[in-house]
Amino acid sequence: MDKNEVAAVLGQIGILLELKGENPFKTRAYLTAVRVLESLEGSLEELVAAKRLGELKGFGEALQDKVTILVTTGRLPYYEELKASLPPGLPALLEIQGLGPKKVKRLFDELGVDSIEALEAACKENRIAVLEGFGEKSQGKILEAIAFKRQFASRHTLIDVLIQADPILEFLRGHPHVVRCSTAGSLRRWKEVIGDIDFLVSSREPLRVIEDFVSQPEVRSILVKGDTKATVILGEGIQADLRVVTDSEYPFALAYFTGSKEHNIVMRQRAISRGLRLNEYGLFQSTEETRDPALRVPCHEERDIFEALGLAFVPPELREDQGEFSAAEAGSLPRLIEWTELRGSLHNHSNWSDGRDSLETIAAQAHELGLDYWAITDHSRASFQANGLDAVRLANQIQAIQKVNESYAAEGSDFRLLTGSEVDILKEGLDFPDEILAGLDVVVASLHVPSGDGAENTRRLIRAAENPHVHMLGHLTGRLLLERDAYKMDIDSVLDACAATGTWVELNANPYRFDLDWRLWRRARDKGVKCVINCDAHRLEHFDFLRLGTGIARKGWLRKGDVVNTRNLAELWTSLATKRSRSS
């Protein structure tokens, strides 16, 4: 065990002893030891080997024994017994604001409260209010604190996090004492769900940057404000860390705090196997842990670190230890798609069904953004709650779209709206007959009301893919992030059917869906399935989803050629016709 791990165990022991109601001097000795270890300069292993632990402030014989056992064996029976002697849910109670060890011990001894759930139940049954020294008011406060903690423990969708992070990143960029800055962590890796935001800054004036960071209007409360680090709560209860480093440490800290943890572990191993050491402070010419700047391998950017380890630069989205190392070593990393390569979106709604905007407004926006085409695929009749179109309204809509297109043609513009439908996949088949589908430019087939039976869902989706008029399957698995899991189905069989029939699969770029999941795209691609990155826009703001969804496609290793809507309109017409010609 290294010194940080040892410190963590000692800290836990201190907490457990407090909960047991041990002598406060004894518990305080452990917490002091944690601080001593955290600020220890040299190697703890060396101190242990030289039997010099006694030189550390406050390290009596009992503590020296425990640390020696931890460092040499990696475990400590005393700690394990102590842990086993208390209910496992007890330490978490200390994280509820207003509850110290004394109160937690009383709640446990007198009411048997041994977890947050039990605490909540006790409050709701009014058992805390009648306890001496607690009362009605503190019972209410405890309930509030539980709700507060749950909110902060929660996970957040990428878009909710970006809304909080973007203005802060903007502020950091403009700060006079910030040299370089970036987001890091899961946000930089473009994960669909984020725990907390990580910001990284290089500066010569860390205190001033931290002071201004915690005074940002988005900051709701400050959890930690140190010399080089701050942790705050932003709107929506989203937690954010800021770390400030020197500019020479910056690329190393950026690589480290971008993660993922799994990716970092492999990077560190590669360094070790080259006789180097890699951590958040640098890449060092050393065979043991160090922060000595004199030993640092000079790297100005992340790219230089990868190069020093014999790797091509790995884009942050791919840093999940999912094969990026062998590809980076072989020089076979894909050139990932860029969102500016998209020419339009093939699944979108208008005010003819449940969208907000008119055909004219939508067309104007798409044209303004420099796109080549935008398909209007409103819902079919079965989606009655979404004001789905029947055959007559669909025929009228086709005429309305033709009129819009004529106005663009008259101005000499090549921009076009495409006609279409997001046709429901029903139990008996599709919601429109083939004759009607054949008259549409683009057909998206979506399962909105799945069966509880996975085999049945698989069968319906395969049948939809086999229809020659269906170009693509929409939001295939039906998941809603943080709300609903994917429908039950045999995804491989569905993807195989798509590959066999030339049916495309949508990457629904709505940030609450991101469906298909990035984890499935390489498999789909390798089966020969093409991707379409669709906004599924219901209002103009949703045009931004093109960028968000492309990040997920990148995370799924997709290249420009894997994505159908990077093609220009002429190529797209050919592609749309191909599906229909190959099966009819």
Contacting residues toward Zn ion, per CB under 5 A: 446
Cis before 516? omega within 30: yes
Closer residue to ligand DGT (CB): 56 or 219: 219
442-446 and 416-418 as β-strands: parallel, antiparallel, unpaired? Answer: unpaired
Amino acid at 390: D
Phi, then psi, of 258 in degrees rounded to 5: -75, -30
- Name which of Zn ion, Ca ion, ligand DGT, none residue 257 binds, using a CB cut-off of 5 to 8 Å depending on partner kind: ligand DGT
Q: Which stretch binds ligand DGT (CB under 6 A): 79-87, 142-150, 192-200, 479-487?
A: 192-200
Q: Which stretch binds ligand DGT (CB under 6 A): 195-203, 387-395, 447-455, 468-476?
A: 195-203
Residues 6+ away with beta carbon under 8 Å from 269: none
Amino acid at 484: R
Minimum CB separation of residue 198 from Ca ion in Å reads 5
- Determine the Cα–Cα distance for residues 31 and 8; give it in Å rounded to an integer: 10
Minimum CB separation of residue 27 from ligand DGT in Å reads 26
Q: Which stretch binds ligand DGT (CB under 6 A): 85-93, 186-194, 481-489, 551-559?
A: 186-194
Minimum CB separation of residue 283 from ligand DGT in Å reads 14
Q: Which stretch binds ligand DGT (CB under 6 A): 54-62, 114-122, 259-267, 335-343?
A: 259-267
Minimum CB separation of residue 264 from ligand DGT in Å reads 4
C-alpha distances out from residue 185 to 72, 364, 367, 426, 471, Å: 33, 37, 35, 41, 37
- Number of C-alpha atoms within 13 angstroms, CB side, residue 554? 25
Minimum CB separation of residue 153 from ligand DGT in Å reads 11
- Name which of ligand DGT, Ca ion, Zn ion, none residue 264 binds, using a CB cut-off of 5 to 8 Å depending on partner kind: ligand DGT
- Residue 265, interface with ligand DGT (CB under 6 A)? yes
208-238 residues labelled b (16+ CB within 10 A) or e (exposed): ebbebbbeeebbeeeeeeeeeebbbbbeebb
C-alpha distances out from residue 487 to 380, 479, 499, 577, Å: 21, 7, 20, 30
Q: What is the 3-state secondary structure (H, E, C) of 298-362?
A: CCCCHHHHHHHCCCCCCCHHHCCCCCHHHHHHHCCCCCECCHHHCCEECCECCCCCCCCCCHHHH
Q: Which stretch binds ligand DGT (CB under 6 A): 113-121, 256-264, 378-386, 403-411?
A: 256-264
DSSP state of 231: E
What are all long-range contacts of 176-183, with beta carbons under 8 Å and residues at least 24 apart?
Answer: 177/203, 177/204, 177/205, 177/208, 177/209, 178/202, 178/203, 178/209, 179/203, 179/204, 179/247, 179/250, 180/247, 180/250, 182/254
Closer residue to ligand DGT (CB): 185 or 556: 185
Q: Record the tokens describing residue 196, joined without a space.
A: 């907390």
- Residue 183, interface with ligand DGT (CB under 6 A)? no
Amino acid at 17: L
- Name which of ligand DGT, Ca ion, Zn ion, none residue 446 binds, using a CB cut-off of 5 to 8 Å depending on partner kind: Zn ion
Q: Which residue is nearest to ligand DGT (CB)?
A: 259
Closer residue to Zn ion (CB): 46 or 541: 541
Minimum CB separation of residue 211 from Ca ion in Å reads 20
Q: Record the tokens describing residue 246, joined without a space.
A: 């020197």
| From candidates 104, 146, 164, 185, binder to ligand DGT by CB under 6 A | 185
The torsion angle over the Cα atoms of residues 354, 476, 484 and 379, rounded to 10 degrees, is: 10
Closer residue to Ca ion (CB): 240 or 371: 240
| From candidates 185, 251, 420, 450, binder to Ca ion by CB under 5 A | 185
Tell me which residue of 167, 239, 230, 240 sits closest to 203, measured CA to CA: 230
Share of the chain residues as helix, strand and coil, in percent rounded to the nearest 5:
50, 15, 35
Q: Which stretch binds Ca ion (CB under 5 A): 20-28, 241-249, 377-385, 528-536?
A: 241-249
Residues 6+ away with beta carbon under 8 Å from 504: 471, 472, 473, 498, 529, 530, 531, 532, 564
Minimum CB separation of residue 28 from Zn ion in Å reads 60
Q: Which residue is nearest to Ca ion (CB)?
A: 185
Is residue 278 a contact partner of residue 306, using CB atoms and an 8 Å limit?
Answer: no
- Residue 224, interface with ligand DGT (CB under 6 A)? no
Q: Which residues pair with 532 in a beta bridge?
A: 506
| From candidates 195, 334, 429, 454, binder to ligand DGT by CB under 6 A | 195
- Residue 160, interface with Ca ion (CB under 5 A)? no
Size of the site for Ca ion (CB under 5 A): 5
- Residue 320, interface with ligand DGT (CB under 6 A)? no
Size of the site for ligand DGT (CB under 6 A): 14
Minimum CB separation of residue 280 from ligand DGT in Å reads 8
- Residue 302, interface with ligand DGT (CB under 6 A)? no
| From candidates 196, 441, 536, 562, binder to Ca ion by CB under 5 A | 196
- Name which of Ca ion, ligand DGT, Zn ion, none residue 261 binds, using a CB cut-off of 5 to 8 Å depending on partner kind: ligand DGT
Is residue 581 a contact partner of residue 499, using CB atoms and an 8 Å limit?
Answer: no
Q: Which stretch binds ligand DGT (CB under 6 A): 61-69, 194-202, 225-233, 540-548?
A: 194-202
- Residue 186, interface with ligand DGT (CB under 6 A)? yes
- Residue 334, interface with ligand DGT (CB under 6 A)? no
DSSP sequence for 68-107: HHHHHHS--HHHHHHHHTS-TTHHHHTTSTT--HHHHHHH
Residues 6+ away with beta carbon under 8 Å from 136: 129
| From candidates 18, 114, 192, 198, binder to Ca ion by CB under 5 A | 198
Minimum CB separation of residue 155 from ligand DGT in Å reads 7
Applying CB under 5 A, which residues contact Ca ion? 185-186, 196, 198, 241
Applying CB under 6 A, which residues contact ligand DGT? 185-186, 191, 194-196, 198, 256-257, 259-261, 264-265
